Amino acid sequence: MVMRKVFIYVSGCERRELDATRVKNYFIQNGHKIVNKPKHADVIFYITCDLLDKIGEINLNKIKEFQKYKADLIVAGCLPDISKEKLLEIFDGHIITTKDLNEHPEKIDKIFPENKIPFSEIEDGNYLFPPMYDESKPSGVIQKLIRNVDWMKKVYFQIEDYVYKNPDQTNVHWWHPIKREFYHIRTSWGCPSNCSYCAIKKAIGEFKSKPLDKCLAEFKKGLDEGFKLFFINADDIGGYGIDINSSFTELLDKLTSVPGDYQLAIRSLNPPWVVKYIDEWEEILKRGKIVSMEIPIQSGSQRILKLMRRYSNVEKMIEAFKKLKQIAPDMIVYNHYIAGFPTETEEDFKQTLNFIVETKFKAGTIFPYSCKTGTDAEKIEPKIPRKEVFRWLENSKPFLAEHGYKTFYRAKPDFFIFYS
């Protein structure tokens, strides 16, 4: 068998990084070598992102860059299903979509017929794919040193631990130089929702839960490997079990019933699941194993939530979140919001601010709305000028400060952080 040298590059979310880890293991287990630079590769496997138009353009330009090398280029990830026409204008090679990795794994095997172990037999990734460093820049040199020099890594993690334990420094973690190796358990693929502003569902496919015993086996494997912090991850984690006669509550109950010294961080938990399950969670949360939940709210305005095709019963959300706070007062709940959705008024945005204050969440991020081509939200008019959105954000600072929140704005990428 011919050994190939494979360069894997990821642009996207944690789920795509887990895909990349699985792809890496596929090549390694079939006797190929993973290389760190595209110029050394026979194969370039590029896992793309197309969340926003500007991200899609960056990814298309990266494809053009990779085409300059002699290696065979495979374009994978979400962009092929979201911006297929744009991709085909510049690329006529092999394409492996995000859906293909789970629904049609034989497609990757057909590209590499010499491989004896099929992709379907490769276990899901539990570690984020290691980042690539641009060693031509000082930041890249620093990142590589911290990652590879033991004493520097130890000092860095001591500083990072301090940052995570001190809320006043919450903003710092947005630029930490390296990704700490935590253990990730992906519980499902796809999304059962249909948000008007999102194109990702085109790429990730229909909702499919991972079998419960498989989730538990991965968890116990991580414990055996000595991990203490576990990220429980999916595109819409609360939908777990709707297709396999189980539930997210059952998953949490089984995980937190395992004895041991560990903590769970829940990612991408949408509000309707909190409203649905909150009355079932008291015993589970009081076990103290779940230390954080990331809950994307997107707006405090019922009108805007309906236009977004999000869960829109604001009163029920507030009631559920207050109960969540009462049951687990020390658990960190982190939220996402969008400001400047089409037709949104300043009064709508003030409802979002009031929602933040009333629910008393520890921290959150407000993202200025960015229209994604091909979504239903693209058709909604009028659009809100970015200057107007930035004015709202600037004017929100005194209001949030009155209620104990500090704020932080970062221009690239655009986001506005509040924390208490």
User: Per-residue pLDDT tens for 92-140?
Assistant: 999 999 999 999 999 999 999 999 999 999 999 999 987 655 454 454 5
CATH entry, 182-419, from 3.80.30.20, 3.20.20.10, 2.40.40.20, 3.40.50.300: 3.80.30.20
- In sequence order, the 6+-apart residues with CB closer than 8 A to the CB of 105 are 118, 119, 120
Say how far apart CA 361 and CA 322 lie, in whole Å: 9
What is the Cα–Cα distance from 393 to 337, expressed in whole angstroms?
12
For position 174, what pLDDT does the model report? 37
pLDDT above 50 for 401: yes
Instruction: Write down the pLDDT at residue 353.
Output: 98
- DSSP secondary structure letter of residue 301: -
- Report yes or no: 376 and 196 within 8 Å, Cβ to Cβ: yes
Comparing 1-10, 212-221, 256-265, 309-318, the range with the smallest average pLDDT is 1-10
Which of 146-150, 169-173, 266-270 has the least mean pLDDT?
A: 169-173
Specify the CATH architecture of the domain 5-121: 3-Layer(aba) Sandwich (3.40)
Cα 313 to Cα 305: distance, rounded to the nearest angstrom: 9
Rounded percentage of the chain residues whose pLDDT exceeds 70? 87
- What's the distance, CA 62 to chain centroid? 21
Model pLDDT, residue 61: 98
**250: which residues sit within 8 A by CB, 6+ positions away?**
212, 241
Which two three-digit tokens encode residue 93?
């090679």
- Residue intervals of the chain classified under CATH 3.80.30.20 are 182-419
Q: Does residue 417 surpass a pLDDT of 70?
A: yes
Tell me how far CA of residue 210 lies from CA of 1, 14, 240, 242, 307, in angstroms: 33, 17, 8, 11, 31
Q: Could you give the percent of the chain with pLDDT greater than 90?
A: 81
